[in-house]
Amino acid sequence: MPLPRLGSVLVTGGAGFIGSALSQELAPHSDRWVVLDNLHPQIHPSRQRPEALHSSAELVIGDVTESEDWDRVLTMVRPDVVFHLAAETGTAQSLNEATRHASVNVVGTTEMLDAFSRASHVPRHFILSSSRAVYGEGSWQRSDGSIITPGQRTHAQLAASQWDFADAMALASESRTTVPAPTSIYGATKLTQEHILRAWTNARDTGLTILRLQNVYGPGQSLIN
């Protein structure tokens, strides 16, 4: 079945390996494919346009946390579809760089939505790349059948190599039954993204798809990130 035309598309963080792969598949089915990316040196050490980005993609170098960059982009394009990929993604790194992760993931999302409000424009659909990190340790079942969400292991448990929780068995995470309970700062910022976008899109009766991705890898991935 041929893909329908997507109209004008805006991809935040779209110069990474996921965004570049998306561009190869979907840019030919779009009227315009505009990428907003700051080419962060942790992912793009050369600060050059990625070769894997589709030739028709319009690359705008800018920061999702800067309102001026958002206003500049939205004078160029009024997107029908938004892929919101821009994020700081280090689970361990977020423990020591909490402000950096919260700024990009949370404030970057609110800056995007405020820019759409200033421009009086509502895209017809958002796609958010979230993370399985929103689940934290997931749910466990006690021998009496009750379900618990124990959260993060204590230092004492880790020192004792106690990986399991007493009298409980880990349950497979399923989106229908597992309650998000992030145990990392990164996971908390991604869940906050979900809540913010859901509130905004619900209020404007527009579409939202959330993808809670596991570890991702593939051609073009930065080996220094």
Residue 18 CA to residue 45 CA, distance in Å, equals 17
Beta-carbon contacts of residue 110 (< 8 Å; ≥ 6 apart)? 196
Residue 54 CA to residue 21 CA, distance in Å, equals 8
Q: Please check whether residue 193 is in contact with residue 12, taking contact to mean a CB–CB distance below 8 angstroms.
A: no
The length of the chain, given as a count of residues: 225
Q: Which amino acid is at 203?
A: A
Active site residue 217: no
Q: Within a 10 A sphere around the Cβ of 76, how many other Cβ atoms?
A: 14
Beta-carbon contacts of residue 49 (< 8 Å; ≥ 6 apart)? 15, 59
Query: Which stretches of the chain are DSSP H helices?
Result: 17-26, 67-76, 93-96, 98-102, 108-118, 155-159, 185-204
Pick the catalytic residue from 70, 116, 186, 200. Answer: 186
Q: Which residues are catalytically annotated?
A: 186
